[in-house]
Amino acid sequence: MIKAIAFDLDNSLIDFSTFKHETARAAAKAMITHGLTGVTEEELYEQIFAVYDQKTVEYQKTFADVLGKYPELTLNEFERIQQAAISAYLKTKFESLKAYPEVKETLVKIKAKGILIGVVSD
């Protein structure tokens, strides 16, 4: 008899891939809006994902790594653009993190059977 089930959060209960794509696009747009020139939003989006591919999607200095490729930026410009990217990322994160359509219904059914539910993530 099953007494408990543990679920991974990312791409099991929530659509983590879509979330990462939407937040990367928002960050790229914010970088352009806040003064980064000589690059398109699409190019920045690709640069963000290049960092993710190299250092994982959980890497905390992604935007700094991307902006480091633009040595013409002053320290103030770098910081302003980086903070705009972080703010856009966080705003979009909370708008786009959603459970897959049948998750809530499925968890309710499991709980109704008296099975303990756990959620794990890194």
**For the segment 26-55, what is each residue's pLDDT rounded down to a tens digit?**
999 999 999 999 999 999 999 999 999 999
Range list of β-strands (E), the chain: 4-8, 116-120
Summarised one tens digit per residue, pLDDT across range 96-120 is 888 999 999 999 999 999 999 999 9
Specify whether the backbone of 111 is left (phi greater than 0), alpha (psi in -120 to 50) or beta.
Answer: alpha
Q: Contact, 47 vs 69, CB < 8 A?
A: yes
Q: How much is the pLDDT for 122?
A: 74
